[in-house]
Amino acid sequence: MTNITLDNITLKDYTLENLPRLKELRSLSFARRTEICIERARFVTRYLLYHDNPADSAEVRQAKKTRHFLHRKRPVFHDRNLLAGSTTSKALGAPLFPEFFALTLWPELDTVNDRKKNIQKLEPEDAQELNLKIFPYWMDKNVLELTRERFNDPECLSLFESLVFFIAAKAGCISHAVPAYVPMLEHGLSGLMAMAAEQEEALANEESREAKEKADFYKAVQISLQGIMDYAGHLAEEAEFLAQVTDDPEVRKECSEMAQVCRLVPAEPATTFREAVNAIWICQVGIHAENINMAMSPGRLDQILYPYYQRDIEAGRLDIGRAIELIGCLWLKIADNVTMVPEASEEMFGGAGTVPAITLGGVDENGEDAVNDLTYIMLRVTELLGIRDPNVNARYDYENNSPEYCRRVSEVILNTKSVPAFFNDKANITTLQGQGETIEHARDYAVIGCVELASSGRDYPASSSIMMNLVAPLEMALFRGKRPITGDEQIGPETPDPADLNSFEEFWEVFKTQLDWLIEKAIELNEYMGAVHQEMMPSPLLSAFFEGPMEKGKDLIFGGARYNSSGATHIGFADVVDSLNAIEQAVFVDRKYGFAELLEMVKNDFKGEEGEKMRLYLKNRAPKYGTEAPIARKNAANVVRHLFELYQSHTNYRGGPYRPSYWTMTNHAGLGGITGALPNGRKARQVFSSGMTPVSGAAPELTACLNAVAELGGEYVPGCWALNIKYTPEDDQQQMSQRFAQTIEAYFRAGGQQVQFNIMTYEMLLDAKKHPGKYPELMVRVSGYSAYFKDLNEMMKDELITRTQYNLTNGMAVPFPEEGGK
Amino acid sequence: MFFSPKAQENLWKEIENSLTSEFVEEFLQALLNLMKIMFVINHEYRENIKKFDGRYQFCSEDGKVTMAAVFSDGRMKVLEKMIDHPHITITFRDGQTLLNFMISPRQDILGSMLRHDVRTKGNLNYLYKFGYMAKKLQLMMPQP
């Protein structure tokens, strides 16, 4: 049964010209400069200094800390956005979470206002407070230092701190979740609190430790949710005050309406579309009071909000224009915060947003077409605004969703040049079922952050727990457990000299030895950090928005969710596979070069005439991932399967498995920039390929490329991947969107899980690098998320420029322009 | 203890000269000594170490340089030896890398660590605090 009542799904009649509020807010959002907000850091530090009771359970301490902040959080209205609430006290704020990496800002407290790239403004008095009052308190108390202290500075921590092996993301966050907002909308926070109170009361006479722990959890939930209600109450007061003092009748009306909304929701059940939208936003703000702003994803909003939309439309309380305006306001609110990034990190990894993902379309829990009018409204808003966050993703089931929907998503991608990303329902539902999820739960998946999958509000996947640099174990296999960048230090096990090996299979075993050793270390550290999170950062507030914790009486961090897992993503996949291919073909099949000779040239960055000759051979003659070459297909599949089996054999501290994935944010550029040459002919310090994408220039045919990636999909990639494809824009957009949609369908039928696009040419990106002022709003897909091209570091810009560009008409790669090309 | 304006000026000069010096010990010694003196003569700067206990060990990779800075009771001591129980040990490849790491106008802590020009062992938050104090010192440097 179709849920579409719109006359025209493109909603082309709704433009920024006839939506002046959105036009103004959008223009403000581009004009705003980031300001560092110390509000949360100030209040949580004061709470811990003066009010904390160590005798309370970890959950209750966390809840009291969060409520203390939310109660004091300033209710501010920065502009004419129709939704009340903001994640920080600034119009575009970078909040500080001293529990994690906030102290990395310390060296530049006096200079952050003047730095060259992506300035983040900091008030001098705030810098003073951070230096003398806030940061000193946290010197020995953030997640990283507590891990060091509690586990006696383990070797796995040193590996992480050297930054070139893996990143243990729990030092910076867990976040990465999709809350379940339906119970909140239906019962209100008061209703959820009443349920928690009832459970707590039922446990009151039980003496067991387990009962006491459960009762503490329910108590913590109530305290946390009260914090959100306090904040909503203060928003109402402020809106009422503004309504009183303004001379503008229109502003008075808007403020009065906002006050009314905040008096009702999220405390009570939402009754209208507007109330539902604002209730979700205020709860998002509340969640950010407890959890750092990293990939906290609202999920399937077209499904969650649809009953409210439908009811209001039918009752004549809402029209499409107003719905677009409200959703636009929500999109702009979601983009009201960025992460605090110290200058050095900005240089290496900068340009990322906070990646709150919205998921549209796909099928419902019964496997039927879930696309509705609101899906198209949200697509139109995404098209009109063209902003970095939220990270909008479109699910597509090629059997149950309509071709019109696929074409419309394609059209939005062509118009925005980059968003949304496409996700394959068939493959992703299968992969989640493979992780033990029921089919109904798997069908209700949403995207988290970049590309990760989770059953909405049931799955706590800590999806960025490990970011593994796959090139590290490759180099360790080549150099007997050492890496050129770490000199003579023996890092991994001392494996045989590759020059003494007799077959590629023997080298594969050596590679696996180093890979497994490094992954074991990364998992060990993740487990240590998980234990520290259990002590200092439980999430009773977020737990209230999940299926599982409220039933089990257990916080998410202790395994309360219905499904638990830890995610491990991989950097340098294509470069490693191509290096394996090159070794197999050149050393063991063709016997063109000896292994010792190859290693010598790799060490010397292929210098000299002979080196360049070898490099060109490896680059042009060795099999490449992204083509039909059997060696390349075999090695890619072997790496993916081996990683899957290895991770899945581990159970995390919450009782769930580890899930491998392949997305890289900007790490492939940063890590590539400091790494030596590789056997695939890659010269030293060149960027690695992004996500699951073949190396630039390695896959000349689009169909072969998509098939080679697609055949790896499904069971073995439960965390999903980011595949980046660049297409030449065409004049006939209608014809292009048709071909675009057909290509998507073919790729999905072959098993591809995800794909994202940049619709731009080499020349355009070269020009954007040269003349950033000409492209202030140019948005690009990096590896799982969107960024403004001008904000990216030079290496990342180069990576985007050199990504293979395909001509969709003939399906062939477009040659990179000769030097001096436009 | 009193430091005349002339003596202070000389110290700044020493730092400035050491910024271009190839000898890491000169730069490090000048930096730590100047820091120590500024804590004495500049009340506002002294606020940074008022209730601060911190033990820093600096070493060069070739073992030629071993210096330490110890902060305690609002005072700073500079020692030319290995100390017990440092909060953080910073081992650097050469003078230029330490300079980039600590005080360069384009301070590059992460880049230095990524390139393994500098290695650390211990609590990084102590390093960030030291980085702030070193940067502050640099900002206090008289402009030509």
| Residue A309 within any structural domain of the chain | no
Q: Of A134, A156, A171, which residue sits at a domain end? A: A171
B136 touching chain A per CB within 8 A: yes
Single out the residue of A222, A167, A232 nearest to residue A191, CA to CA. Answer: A222
Task: Quote the strand ranges of A546-685, DSSP E.
Answer: 563-564, 566-571, 658-661
The pLDDT value given to residue B5? 67
Q: Which pLDDT band, with edges at 50, 70 and 90, does B45 fall under?
A: very high
Q: How many domains does chain A have?
A: 2
Closest C-alpha to A680, from A478, A544, A468:
A478
Estimate the share of chain B in helix, then strand, then coil, as percent rounded to the nearest 5: 50, 20, 30
Q: Which residues pair with A466 in a beta bridge?
A: A168, A568
CB A559, CB A198: distance < 8 Å = no
Give the DSSP letter of residue A457: T
- Is there a cis peptide before residue A266, judged by omega within 30 degrees of 0? yes
The Cα A303–Cα A203 span in angstroms is: 35
Give the Cα separation of A30 and A88 in Å (integer). Answer: 18
> Is pLDDT larger for residue A160 or for residue B26?
A160
Crossing angle for the helix pair A471-478 and A504-536, to the nearest 10 degrees: 140
Question: Are residues A447 and A423 in contact, defined by beta-carbon separation less than 8 angstroms?
Answer: yes
The answer to whether A778 touches A788, Cβ cutoff 8 Å, is: yes
- Structure tokens that stand for A694 in this block: 């073949």
A288 assigned to some structural domain: no
Confidence (pLDDT) at A347 = 61
Dihedral class, residue A788 (left if φ above 0, else alpha if ψ from -120 to 50, else beta): beta
Chain B hits for A162, CB-CB cut-off 8 Å, are 113, 116, 119
Query: For A470-491, what is the mean pLDDT?
Result: 96
Instruction: Pick the more confident residue, B6 or A559.
Output: A559
A124-131 contact pairs (CB < 8 A, 24+)? A126/A36, A126/A38, A129/A38, A129/A42, A130/A38, A130/A41, A130/A96, A130/A105, A130/A106, A131/A106, A131/B48, A131/B132
| Mean pLDDT across chain A | 96
Q: Quick: pLDDT tens for A378-414.
A: 999 999 999 999 999 999 999 999 999 999 999 999 9
A739 within domain boundaries:
no
- The strand pairing partners of B121, in sequence order, are B89
Is residue A298 in some structural domain? no
Chain B residues closer than 8 Å to A111 by CB: 135, 139
Helix, strand, coil percentages for chain A (3-state, nearest 5): 50, 10, 35
Where residue B1 falls among pLDDT bands split at 50, 70, 90? very low
Chain A contact for B46 (CB, 8 A cutoff)? no
Q: Do B51 and A140 touch (CB under 8 A)?
A: no
Record: contact B125-A161, CB cut-off 8 A: no
User: Which is higher by pLDDT, A469 or B34?
Assistant: A469
B121 contacts chain A (CB < 8 A): yes
- Whether residue A637 contacts residue A712, with contact meaning beta carbons closer than 8 Å, is answered with yes
Mean pLDDT of all residues in A695-715: 96
With b for 16 or more beta-carbon neighbours within 10 A and e for fewer, the A77-111 pattern comes to beeebbbbbbbbbbbbbbbbbbbbbbbbbbbbbbb
> Does residue A617 lie in a domain region?
yes
The pair of structure tokens assigned to A238 is 């402020």
pLDDT at B19 over 70: no
Query: Are the beta carbons of A554 and A217 closer than 8 angstroms?
Result: yes
End-of-domain residue from the set A721, A738, A770 = A721
HSE at residue A594, side-chain half, CA atoms within 13 A, is 6
Cβ contact A783:A570 at 8 Å: no
pLDDT attached to residue A342: 86
A396, with CB counted inside 10 A (0-12, 13-18, 19+), is: buried
**Contact residues on chain B for A486, CB-CB shorter than 8 A:** 116
Determine the Cα–Cα distance for residues A766 and A775; give it in Å rounded to an integer.
11
Task: Residue A138: name the closest of B82, B57, B128 by CA.
Answer: B128
b/e per residue, B32-70, with b = 16+ CB within 10 A? bebbebbbeeeeebeebbeebebbbbbbbeeeebebbbb
List the helix and strand counts (H, then E) for chain B. 6, 5
Span A413-433, pLDDT tens digits: 999 999 999 999 999 999 999
Strand order, beta sheet including A466-469: A166-168, A466-469, A566-571, A658-661
Q: Could you give the count of Cα atoms lying within 13 Å of A488 in the half-sphere of its Cβ?
A: 1
pLDDT at A170 over 70: yes
In this structure, what token pair is assigned to residue A528?
Answer: 């240590």
Q: Is A761 contained in some domain? A: no
Mean pLDDT of chain B: 83
The span from the CA of A212 to the CA of A203, in Å, is 7
Triad A313, A314, A315: Cα angle to 5°:
90
DSSP, collapsed to helix, strand or coil, labels residue A815 as coil
CB contact under 8 A, B114 and A347: no
Tell me whether residue A54 is exposed, middle or buried, using C-beta atoms within 10 angstroms of its C-beta: 0 to 12, 13 to 18, 19 or more. Answer: exposed
Which helix (H) or strand (E) segment holds residue A382: the answer is helix A373-385
Nearest alpha carbon to residue A437 among A612, A657, A652, A638: A657
Quickly state the pLDDT bin for B108 (edges 50, 70, 90).
low
Question: Which residues of chain A does B107 touch, with a Cβ-Cβ cutoff of 8 Å?
Answer: 107-108, 343-344
Least-confidence region, from A64-73, A173-182, B28-37: B28-37
pLDDT > 50? residue A821: no
User: What whole-number distance in Å separates Cα of residue B73 and Cα of residue B84?
Assistant: 18
Task: Verify whether the Cβ–Cβ distance B110 to A142 is below 8 Å.
Answer: no
Q: Tell me how crowded residue B15 is: count the other CB atoms within 10 A of its CB.
A: 20
% of chain A with per-residue pLDDT over 70: 99
For residues A318-330, one letter each, b for 16 or more C-beta atoms within 10 angstroms of the residue's C-beta and e for the rest, the string is bebebbbbbbbbb
Closest residue to B135, CB basis, from A111, A138, A345 = A111
Rg (CA), chain A: 26
pLDDT at A453 over 90: yes
Amino acid present at B4: S
What pLDDT was estimated at residue A822? 39
Q: Are A499 and A587 in contact (CB under 8 A)?
A: no
> Could you tell me how many CB contacts below 8 A there are between chain A and chain B?
86
Q: If you ran DSSP here, which 8-state letter would residue A587 be given?
A: I
What fold, for B5-140?
Nonspecific Lipid-transfer Protein; Chain A (3.30.1050)
Reply yes or no on whether the pLDDT at A801 is more than 80.
Answer: yes
Residue A308: inside a domain, yes or no?
A: no
Q: Is B109 on the interface with A (CB under 8 A)?
A: yes
Mean pLDDT along residues A38-45: 98
DSSP A769: H
Query: 3-class SS at A563?
Result: strand
Which residue is associated with the tokens 């916080």? A555
- Report the 10 Å Cβ neighbour count for B22: 10
pLDDT digits 0-9 by tens, A194-217: 999 999 999 999 999 999 999 999
End residue of a domain, out of A125, A150, A171: A171
* Element holding B96 (H helix, E strand): helix B95-102
Find the mean pLDDT for residues A797-804. 94
Task: Give me the domain span that covers residue A611.
Answer: 466-721
What's the whole-number mean pLDDT along residues A356-382?
98
pLDDT band at A349 (very low <50, low <70, confident <90, very high): low
Residue in chain B lying closest to A343 (CA): B108
Mean pLDDT of the region A709-736: 95
CA distance to partner chain B, nearest, from residue A97 (Å): 14
Contact between A496 and A480 under an 8 Å Cβ cutoff? The reply is yes
Nearest to B114 among A108, A148, A348 (CB): A348
Q: How far apart are CA A672 and CA B107, in angstroms?
A: 21
Closest partner residue to B123 (CB to CB) among A140, A162, A163 is: A140
Q: How far is CA A530 from CA A462, A524, B123, in A?
A: 10, 10, 19
Cis peptide before B5 (omega within 30 of 0): no
Q: What are phi and psi of B8, to 5 degrees?
A: -65, -45
Beta pairing class for A445-448 and A754-759 = unpaired
| Nearest alpha carbon to residue A741 among A449, A394, A429 | A394
| CA–CA distances in Å: residue A720 to residues A324, A450, A466, A655 | 31, 10, 14, 21
Residue A578 lies in a domain: yes
Question: By the 8 A CB rule, do A618 and A586 touch?
Answer: yes
Domain ranges of chain B: 5-140
Q: Which residue has the tokens 């090159």?
A: A582
Per-residue pLDDT at B113 exceeds 80: no
Q: What pLDDT sits at residue A751?
A: 97
User: Taking a C-beta distance cutoff of 8 angstroms, is the pair A795, A672 a contact?
Assistant: yes
Query: Alpha-carbon torsion A89, A92, A97, A101, what sign?
Result: negative
Under the banding of pLDDT at 50, 70 and 90, the label for residue A374 is: very high
Instruction: Report CB contact under 8 Å: B128, A104.
Output: yes
Evaluate if residue A775 carries a pLDDT over 90.
Answer: yes
For residues A147-151, give the mean pLDDT: 97
Instruction: Give the separation between CA A377 and CA A6, rounded to whole angstroms.
Output: 10
Residues on chain A bordering chain B, Cβ-to-Cβ distance under 8 angstroms:
103-111, 131-132, 135-136, 138-140, 142, 144-145, 148, 153, 158, 161-164, 342-345, 347-348, 485-487, 670, 674
Does residue B141 register a pLDDT over 90? no
Alpha-carbon distance of A303 to A335, in angstroms, equals 21
Please compute, for residue A739, the number of CA atoms within 13 A of its CA located in the half-sphere on the CB side.
18
Which phi and psi angles does A90 have, rounded to 5°?
-100, 160
